[in-house]
Amino acid sequence: MGLFSGLGEKLNHIFSKLTKKGRLTELEIKEAMREIKIALLEADVNFLIVKKFINNVSEKAVGEKILKSLTPGQQIIKIVNEELTALMGSTNQKLVYNGIPTVYLMCGLQGAGKTTLCGKLAYMLKGTGKKVLLVAGDIYRPAAIDQLKVVGSKAGVEVFEMGKTDPVKIAKKAVEKAEKERFDYVIVDTAGRLQINKELMDELKNIKDAVKPAEILLTVDAMTGQEAANVAKTFNDELDITGVILTKLDGDTRGGAALSIKEITGKPIKLIGTGEKLGDLEAFHPDRMANRILGMGDVLTLIEKAEKMAQDQDVKELEKKFRENSFTLDDLMMQMEQMKKMGNVNDIVAMVPGLAGKVKGNIQIDEDMLKKSKAIIQSMTKKERENPEIIKAERKQRIAKGSGTTIQDVNKLLKQFFDSKEMMKRFKKGKFPGMMGTVR
């Protein structure tokens, strides 16, 4: 389902009634505001924030200009969009970099996914060509150090640990090492607790005083809704955090946390975790998120995902083959793998204006389908893979038998191949604007 899917559907339903009506009366706008209020409360947004939000929207929506305009429904959607964006912090707040080494202190309650997130953040920063050191400062939770080593090795970064010594000493020593060895970033993982207590806060304050972090980033589990905003407020009151990272936004989340945190703490959401893979961490853009909630798509994030893919050597190879029209079945396989890297198709669809909210069900790049396709292609000879046109009835039977699939499966794959090839021809003739991650 994903973040805000329920809220988005409700708001779209309210707006469709408004846009069908043409001119609107003050009473009709009031009724719409009441429905929006209920939708936001059901999405677990803090009551006081909802009240303030509705007052702001109502004030602007019942003005003379809106009531007399030709498209009042559209104007109200625009106001809601602007107010949602403002509520979430208006613009993307970038992570601070203050020279070698820049220290990020990570904090949060147990179970919010903090240690995994340290790995994702390290992976993201390393991807910009920087040298990153992960620091194992959680000395209490069994296996926390080992877990950090695992995520560090997946991210391809060094992990600094001193066993179960004093976390303040560990953080200090790590920063000394980073200064000597010219690490750009130091990410300090710290202990979480099941609930906030004095020991936890004192320890974090001591680490903060010892290493003077450029960012104190609080990891919050979006699935906990309004409670996430309350946790953020307590941490902020005690530690003066610089920003929030919302995790588990790929779950069926009602979205209250994302809409409440900035207003409650005064601190921005800087990053969002959108899945389980190492690369599933992205910058939080309030305007894009507002667009997605209102079903207006998020073309910019889609373009960024595509551009990231375009850096991939495999994709560059594919593009060359498309241009030269030498696309084979092996390349189709590679193309499927690339699509899988883009993530959940639902999330991609939600970013396309006009499609958001229209596609029902959860479309995943199906692992089984990938396995089946791989088996079929591997059962072919080199000649067949390079010239699928030669695959007729007898060959199809042999391939189906060899791959443990049916002739229908083989036909389906071949159809997909020829469709892809046809599409490439059209791209070549310039009938589509941009492909496979190149944005023209």
Domain that holds residue 22: 5-87
Residues 259 and 310 placed together within one structural domain of the fold: no
**Domains in the chain, number:** 3
Residues 279 and 379 placed together within one structural domain of the fold: no
Residues 216 and 288 placed together within one structural domain of the fold: yes
CATH number at residue 329: 1.10.260.30
Give the least confident one: 118-127, 217-226, 269-278, 366-375: 366-375
CATH number at residue 72: 1.20.120.140
CB within 8 Å of 19: residues ≥ 6 apart: 71, 73, 74, 77
Decide which of 251 and 56 is more confident.
Answer: 56
Residues 329 and 245 placed together within one structural domain of the fold: no
Average pLDDT, stretch 52-67?
78
Strand partners, 219: 108, 245
Q: What's the mean per-residue pLDDT of the chain?
A: 78
Give CA–CA dist 411/309, Å, rounded.
29
Please check whether residue 217 lies inside any domain of the structure. yes
Between strands 215-221 and 243-247, the pairing is parallel
Percent of the chain with pLDDT strictly greater than 70: 76
User: pTM score > 0.95 for this model?
Assistant: no
Decide which of 300 and 418 is more confident.
Answer: 418
Residues 141 and 198 placed together within one structural domain of the fold: yes
Tell me the C-alpha to C-alpha distance, in Å, between residue 341 and each of 314, 334, 426. 12, 11, 24
pLDDT tier for residue 184 given thresholds of 50, 70 and 90: very high
Tell me the C-alpha to C-alpha distance, in Å, between residue 424 and each of 179, 417, 435, 436. 50, 11, 9, 10
Q: What is the DSSP letter of 164?
A: B
Please check whether residue 125 lies inside any domain of the structure. yes
> Is the pLDDT score of 323 beyond 80?
no
Residue 436's pLDDT is 37
Residues 79 and 155 placed together within one structural domain of the fold: no
Decide which of 134 and 334 is more confident.
Answer: 134
Residues 176 and 268 placed together within one structural domain of the fold: yes
Decide which of 55 and 427 is more confident.
Answer: 55
Q: Is 302 helix (H, G, I), strand (E, B) or coil?
A: helix
Residue 354's pLDDT is 46
AA letter at 432: F
CATH number at residue 149: 3.40.50.300
Identify which of 414, 438, 413 has the alpha carbon closest to the alpha carbon of residue 323.
438
Residue 181's pLDDT is 92
